Copies of this chain bind each other. A is one copy, B any other.
């Protein structure tokens, strides 16, 4: 191509032949362009057209030559910005080309080439800011770990040292029988270390330390989750059912052996036909006054106990929930100790055990079914803290209502709804540690000519992981709060604490499901290999959203508690009353809903923790008041209450969620304020802001619908979430290292390589 004006076409030739986004249509565009230019002679046109004939491609060498010419020009004129400018330079500012600037720019457009972007492909730019970004911690990891562990630091260290022993190497056999035995052996070691009886009274060999017990549950969850559940079934469900529902005679007889795992047992509540609606359990316990016994019986197949941990292999006894029948009168569901195996593991007469078989996860736990065929137990086996049969064979109870009594019994078992979300939290921490450490090292794609970039530098990747990291930290502090409230509970706080625990169980376990889903996906194929443990974490925790109460059902309980509290506070309030309630006082109402605030987008405002908490509180109160009004309207309008509750069921979930989000933010802010170490406080502040803003982003539809925010503000929030993700990214690896999960527990090669 000696003719210098024709050189202007070189970039276009090169692009149509090399750009993989261009198709045959673009050849036609270019051919037509060449044909339409009157300043090119017929012969020149022919020559140019020969370069864009689809059937006669240029040689690879020709393509290389074009590229080399373009490279040279760009090298000498580094400020060139568009393809047309490159053309001009190649054509040595030929005046014909200059005169047809508009035509060439149009051609660029018609081909869909964005100048700078196309030129970028010719330049070697290893120095983009995306590729230069990397881990650079701003705080001391150990200090943050100490803040997280707090007063439980000693027990946490002890548990970590135990589960790091060689004996705790993960079981890799897919044989369920082998796995179950391994888990049982691990449990025995933990019992020998006095971890199982940590919550029991000292007089029965226990540690009488509930805070430590929950810390043990959480820390064990860095290891195998079947172990945690088996541990929880034995020492939590089985042991605590004795402690919470029984009396002195039961404690002295059983607690020590349960705590030492000499008496493995079950918690037999759920039946095939009654899982969530346990009030409807059908197993019967019929009192026989002549020989002072109860007969435990399963009336039909679907009334069998199901999913019972420890039932299929190891359990020797079970706390069985059954309807108490005395003289043909039904006194509601009560609890009874029923032996199911002898000490040689032989199943006792009248007991039929089934095996739940393979499950999605937790296959180290021997879940089974239990049926009772007129099994007779002595009278003292009734757990009689809340109800008993007296000497005359009459029913006695300090709680006259069968319904209220049963829910009081369930209320004493609420500890399980703290253990499970804390276990879920630990699983989320493990998943995030694996995914973030891998993403910091895994490189894929990069700028033209530069090396590949850690995938954690990509915005999407940050958006997938870093807000969830913030949420996991947030939940950590919220669960500390729930634990503390539970430990310090008074009778009158019980309904609130029960709702709080039920709600946080749902919030934490759903969050873990989300976290592990993202972790699996962002780790790609590596995330699918069992050796990297997201498999086990994900499948084991999958049932966390169901057991200890189906999350959706629990959220409705939480919402009902909120509604009841709301009504107590406000009753049949009028419109002004509700406005006052929502805004605390009318002045706030005016200031928060005025256009200056709904549109406010400066950084200091968006990052202000008072703004965050107000927005969460406003949402919580508004949703609650609106659900209450709607329910009342429906019922006043003639709907059966049962139907009305069904109509607003999805709003009930919102009521509960908004309440829980406020609690979580509030506790995160409080925990943050208490931090003394300056640098730890700074990074926690960033995480807290990210939690607040990413939840607001998630709820932006609601805020816009309500008018609490305008579009400018929700858009600014989205931008700020991006910015915070980017700012936190250099600390991301340190933030997961602060969880301080033993390497032997993480185990994933992609996290440790």
Contacts and interface: CB of A to CB of B under 8 A. Distances in A.
Interface of A: 17-26, 57-60, 62-63, 105-106, 108-114, 116-117, 120-121, 125, 128-131, 172, 174-176, 270, 273-277, 280, 306-307, 331, 356-361, 395, 397-404, 407-408, 443-448, 452, 457-460, 463, 491-496, 513, 517, 520-521, 524-525, 527-531, 534-535, 538-539, 542-543, 545-547, 550-552, 560-561, 563-572, 631-632, 635-636, 640-644, 646-650, 653, 700-701, 704-707, 711, 714-715, 722
Given A275-B444, A404-B20, A640-B125, A60 B397 contact: yes
Contact of A401 (B17, B277, B361): B17
A677 to B, nearest CB: 33
A524 B539 contact: no
A358 B530 contact: yes
Contacts of A20: 403-404, 407-408
A395 B60 contact: yes
Contacts of A400: 17-18, 57-60, 62-63
A114 B631 contact: yes
20 contacts: A20-B404, A60-B402, A106-B571, A109-B570, A110-B568, A112-B564, A114-B641, A116-B641, A120-B642, A121-B641, A270-B525, A273-B443, A274-B444, A275-B524, A276-B524, A360-B538, A361-B528, A460-B650, A463-B650, A525-B547
A331 B644 CA distance: 70
A67 B344 CA distance: 50
Given A513-B517, A566-B112, A646-B459, A530 B359 contact: yes
Contact of A701 (B19, B358, B642, B714): B714
A444 B277 CA distance: 6
Chief secondary structure at chain A's binding surface = helix
A444 B275 CA distance: 8
Contact of A492 (B24, B114, B356, B546): B24
Contacts of A704: 700-701, 704-705, 711
Nearest to A55: B398
Contacts of A635: 114, 116-117
A535 B359 contact: yes
A348 B264 CA distance: 54
Contacts of A642: 120, 125, 128, 130-131, 446-448
Given A404-B17, A650-B460, A722-B650, A543 B528 contact: yes
A130 B641 CA distance: 11
Contacts of A403: 18, 20
A114 B567 contact: yes
Given A117-B635, A361-B528, A521-B545, 16 more contacts: A18-B404, A23-B493, A23-B495, A24-B492, A57-B400, A60-B400, A112-B565, A117-B631, A117-B641, A121-B641, A270-B525, A280-B452, A447-B640, A447-B642, A460-B653, A521-B552
A156 B300 CA distance: 41
Nearest to A174: B174
A491 B24 contact: yes
A21 B560 contact: yes
Contacts of A701: 700-701, 704, 714
A398 B445 contact: no
Contacts of A715: 705
Given A531-B357, A642-B130, A404 B120 contact: no
B174 A57 contact: no
B535 A360 contact: yes
Contact of A530 (B17, B131, B357, B458): B357
